Structure 1
Amino acid sequence: MTVQVEVSEQTVVDLMNAGRLDEAERLLRGLLAASTAPLHLVRLLALAVRGQGRIAEALDLQLQLVDALPGDFSSRFDLSESLLLLGDFERGWREYQWRYRMPHTSAIERKVQRPRWNGAPMPGQTLLIHDEQGFGDTLQFLRMVPAAKARSGARVVLDVMPELLSLAQRMEGIDAVTEKGTLPPAFDKHCELMSLPQVTKLTLDDLPGPVPYLTPDPKHVEIWRKRLANLPRPLVALVWAGRPTHGNDANRSMSLSDFAPLAGLGLTFLAVQKGPKAAEALTPPAGLRVEALDSHINGFEDTAAILSIADLLVSVDSSPVHLAGALGRPAWVLLPFVPDWRWLLERTDSPWYPSLRLFRQRSRGDWATVIGELGTALAALRG
């Protein structure tokens, strides 16, 4: 019987990797009907159900699993993402703290030999806030640093990855900004950037807070204003794929060819796409006017300048979306059927960024409907 379960479990994993979630669910329910089935199959069932958009049902399964196995940190992280996706920030942030107890994330945890800040006032002391995870995560949660300073009464030092250093240095409410990988000044307590919501007990009602909280560099803006001056408007910055190593990239990313139905709208698309997919801008779909800017974009300062000039950003779920939102620039975001937790469910706006509009898949993998709705909205923009 054990051998049969192992074989069937691998079949389940293969089905899920192939996106055949309904088949995986049926097989899992059959396995779980047997009393000898391992309990961790409930986690796979929750993931299969969640991937089909039944978030509340997945949440029930995750709660059961966490009650039975409170030390299963992967299940606790799954639970946090479902809670946050449903807007339950109070419980969601509490469970999100377990993100560094999983094997694949423990390696990136900062080992800091100082106490973690618990939200209490600490006047006369220094608080180190350090970034974590991806660019989008950092851009989104930089908003929390001035609030942490106000709450703590401390001197705040922000330690941030070099790609975002100059943007962070122009923020208000931060005493010093250091580059990740260098030795920060002496500090008394520390906090991860994405632990600030839990420490400060952030709720949906607290959002969006002061926006914009990032500003473009005027020198970069002037350079790009001259470079883009002769292009016909409207200028629509475009990103069609995220980072390939992201765990959900297969669901969230597209190809430039998917935008072929938008040809003929009379728009100029500014390809601010980076990474392996950027080369697609060199051979765009027929009739789609695309300016390939990848070779001229040397970092987020260039992207910020372009977004400050463009009329709109259209993008899949990626870091430029967060940059646009943090700058207070308009962006239309194309989301998969089950989005990342920060986009919540059903709504067409974002509590994090007032300047964003969300376009959601109505079924798994259905980008065609999203592009159709996007085309209608862009035609209205064109007038």
Structure 2
Amino acid sequence: MRNKTNDEKEQQNFYRKPLEAISNVEPKLQKAFSLCQEGETQQAEKICQQVLTDYPLNVEAIHILGIIAHSENKHNIAVSLIKRAIELDPSQPAFHNNFGNVLREQGMLDESAQAYKKAIQLQPNSAEIYNNLGVVLQEQRRLKEAIWAYEKAIEIRPDCTGAHINFGNVLQEQGELKKSIQTYRRAIQIQPDSAEARKNLGMSLLLTGSFEEGWEQFAWRWQCKDFMSKNRHFPQPNWDGTNLRSKTILVWAEQGIGDEIMFVSMLSDLLEIGANIIVECDARLVQLFQRSFPQIQFLPRQAPPDPQLFDINIDYQIPMGNLGQWLRPNKDSFTATRYLLPCSKRISQMKEKYRSLSNDKMLIGISWKSINRDVGKAKSTLLEDWTSILSQGGCYFIDLQYGNTKSEVEKYVSDKNHILIYQDEEIDPLTDLDGFAAQVSALDLVISTSNTTAHLAGALGQNVWTLLRLVPSWRWMTQRTDTLWYPEMKLFRQLQLGNWSPVFNEVKQALENHMANDWKQ
């Protein structure tokens, strides 16, 4: 979940400063500022340029131009302009606050924190600036300091929704789930229509197994500005759990490939209740999904959508993740079974190839990182972390990490003569997901961090060990060593935030036991 550097109701307020607090501003700049708030940046920019023609050192005009550049993702220009405004008038807290915002988005976290601290010196009673400082401190993994900043923001302004949401986020990250849920509920009391607070509450509830309310709150994700998927806006009414027998429903996939793979498990429930189903999904999954669910019609997601999806004979539509509200209301409603069917011919070909290359050693696929926009770094490991696993005798390791890992693997193995990681150049996990499914199915074991590889292996019924951060994605819940979603998956969890060493020690021991007791050539 992404932290917010300002309240939801103020998300368009790039100026970060109430209009009435601006001193000595010309009416033209008041208008420019208002236009900037409304998203009319071209008109606002034109006014500022006109002002600067007559008054080249007008700091407010320069600052607003920096805000406009920031809103248009022209970050280098924004940095230059706001820095110039600060040089001309270093006494304005809004300038330093906005400078911190731009620097943060540039990844310059130390400099961003310093800018916020300078703004606080100038305006120590600003909840918003303390909230912004908390965000950058949290991104720096300075969690205790981030908590202090959020608490200061709430102390100054108890109704600061954004600070409550961010406080809930950092509490969840530390494993304080009960407290984080209470904090999100407080944010909702303050602002009942806060989609961000409700979505985050939903994920926390799902994580703790409170599925019924969790799904209901998680449905608010579609109203969140930064949600990774866009609403498809099909014309059919949303399915509300009513009887689907002999009805046709359009199910459209959302979020990432791993989410699509996981959520598609619920299609079997729709078939059992007699629904006719059309699914829009990532084009790379159509072949695999169609083989696995021959009774369902799968169409690739495209823009604009396939005209067939607007057929008036389709009775309902629903985003795939929303199926959980009706089909997975509690733990007992889950049926962890294998549901994806790879190409048997390709499996046989790859299995034969890998057996030959390995001299019939145990075939283990590995995947060590995630490219998730929000939490990929926290879910990822380094190849160096895997050395104790990759040194295990009797095993042949195969790279299942999507993306270009050739140089990374070559660098890692260059000074480790006893370690080999085979990279099959015939399979590209990013483009050939059907081939990737066959590759995964050809192996004896998959060990992966929480990413698409883990989801695919789980859905294929493959023996897969998944390595999880301290507080993982909601789907993995807490404390369990198994998962409700996949039949043959074992979970290995961090016990301390960011510390992977005990996890790999546990995996090493499990692999040794597996080789000794379960593995048969």
Shorter-normalised TM range? over 0.9
Residue 343 of structure 2 corresponds to 217
Deviation of the 1:67 alpha carbon: 2.1
Residue 102 of structure 1 corresponds to 224
The DSSP-based 3-state class of the residue aligned with 1:357 is: strand
Deviation of the 1:50 alpha carbon: 1.1
Q: Name the CA distance, whole Å, in 2 between partners of 1:64 and 1:225.
A: 54
Structure ID, larger Rg: 2
> Using CA pairs below 8 Å that are at least 6 residues apart, which structure has the higher relative contact order?
1
Residue 259 of structure 1 corresponds to 386
Query: Is 1:250 aligned with 2:377?
Result: yes
Deviation of the 1:2 alpha carbon: 6.5
Query: Is 1:136 aligned with 2:258?
Result: yes
- Residues 1:351 and 1:125: Cα distance change in structure 2 (over 3 Å): closer
Deviations 1:97-127 (A, max 9, x none): 1111011238611010111111212444321
Residue 274 of structure 1 corresponds to 402
- Residues 1:128 and 1:355: Cα distance change in structure 2 (over 3 Å): same
Deviations 1:192-244 (A, max 9, x none): 111111133532111125x111111122213312321211421110000112x
Residue 132 of structure 2 corresponds to 10
Q: CA contact under 8 A between 2:198 and 2:217: conserved in structure 1?
A: yes
Q: Name the CA distance, whole Å, in 2 between partners of 1:44 and 1:344.
A: 21
Q: 2:289 aligns with which of 165, 168, 184?
A: 168
- The percentage of aligned residue pairs carrying the same residue is 26
Write the letter of the residue equivalent to 1:379.
E
Deviations 1:75-96 (A, max 9, x none): 1111011000001001000011
Structure 1 range deviating more: 84-93 or 107-116? 107-116
Q: Name the CA distance, whole Å, in 2 between partners of 1:352 and 1:161.
A: 20
Query: Is 1:317 aligned with 2:477?
Result: no
Number of residues paired by the alignment? Answer: 380
Residue 308 of structure 1 corresponds to 441
Q: 1:180 aligns with which of 288, 291, 301?
A: 301
The DSSP-based 3-state class of the residue aligned with 2:179 is: helix
Residue 292 of structure 1 corresponds to 423
Residue 191 of structure 1 corresponds to 318
Q: Name the CA distance, whole Å, in 2 between partners of 1:132 and 1:107.
A: 6
Q: Name the CA distance, whole Å, in 2 between partners of 1:263 and 1:137.
A: 29
Q: Name the CA distance, whole Å, in 2 between partners of 1:164 and 1:221.
A: 17
Residue 25 of structure 1 corresponds to 147
Q: Name the CA distance, whole Å, in 2 between partners of 1:263 and 1:171.
A: 33
Residue 348 of structure 1 corresponds to 481
Q: 1:226 aligns with which of 325, 348, 352?
A: 352
**Pairs within 5 Å for 1:27-66:** 27-35=149-157, 38-66=160-188
Q: Name the CA distance, whole Å, in 2 between partners of 1:368 and 1:21.
A: 21
Structure 1 range deviating more: 325-334 or 274-283? 274-283
Deviation of the 1:45 alpha carbon: 1.1
Q: Name the CA distance, whole Å, in 1 between partners of 2:515 and 2:154.
A: 54
**Pairs within 5 Å for 1:59-138:** 59-105=181-227, 108-138=230-260
Q: Name the CA distance, whole Å, in 2 between partners of 1:292 and 1:307.
A: 13
Q: Name the CA distance, whole Å, in 1 between partners of 2:160 and 2:275.
A: 49
Q: CA contact under 8 A between 1:335 and 1:361: conserved in structure 2?
A: yes
The DSSP-based 3-state class of the residue aligned with 1:229 is: helix
Deviation of the 1:156 alpha carbon: 1.2
Residue 52 of structure 2 corresponds to none
Q: CA contact under 8 A between 2:370 and 2:377: conserved in structure 1?
A: no
Name the structure with the higher helix share: 2
- Residues 1:2 and 1:111: Cα distance change in structure 2 (over 3 Å): farther
The DSSP-based 3-state class of the residue aligned with 2:227 is: helix
Q: Name the CA distance, whole Å, in 2 between partners of 1:311 and 1:381.
A: 11
Structure 1 range deviating more: 314-323 or 192-201? 192-201
Q: CA contact under 8 A between 1:278 and 1:294: conserved in structure 2?
A: no
TM-score in terms of structure 1 length = 0.93
Deviations 1:311-359 (A, max 9, x none): 1000000111111111111100000011000000011111211201111
Q: Name the CA distance, whole Å, in 1 between partners of 2:296 and 2:452.
A: 25
Q: Name the CA distance, whole Å, in 2 between partners of 1:282 and 1:156.
A: 46
Structure 1 range deviating more: 268-277 or 364-373? 268-277
Query: Is 1:380 aligned with 2:516?
Result: no
Q: Where do 4+ consecutive residues of structure 1 move more than 4 Å?
A: 1-4
Write the letter of the residue equivalent to 1:183.
P
The DSSP-based 3-state class of the residue aligned with 2:260 is: helix
**Pairs within 5 Å for 1:319-334:** 319-334=452-467
Q: Name the CA distance, whole Å, in 2 between partners of 1:122 and 1:65.
A: 37
Deviation of the 1:295 alpha carbon: 5.4
| Structure 1: stretches of 5+ with no match in the other structure | none
Write the letter of the residue equivalent to 2:342.
P
Q: Name the CA distance, whole Å, in 2 between partners of 1:79 and 1:37.
A: 18
Q: CA contact under 8 A between 1:272 and 1:294: conserved in structure 2?
A: no
Query: Is 1:236 aligned with 2:341?
Result: no
Q: Name the CA distance, whole Å, in 1 between partners of 2:189 and 2:425.
A: 49
Q: CA contact under 8 A between 2:127 and 2:154: conserved in structure 1?
A: no
Deviations 1:163-213 (A, max 9, x none): 11011101237332222223335222111111111133532111125x111
The DSSP-based 3-state class of the residue aligned with 1:111 is: coil
Write the letter of the residue equivalent to 1:155.
N
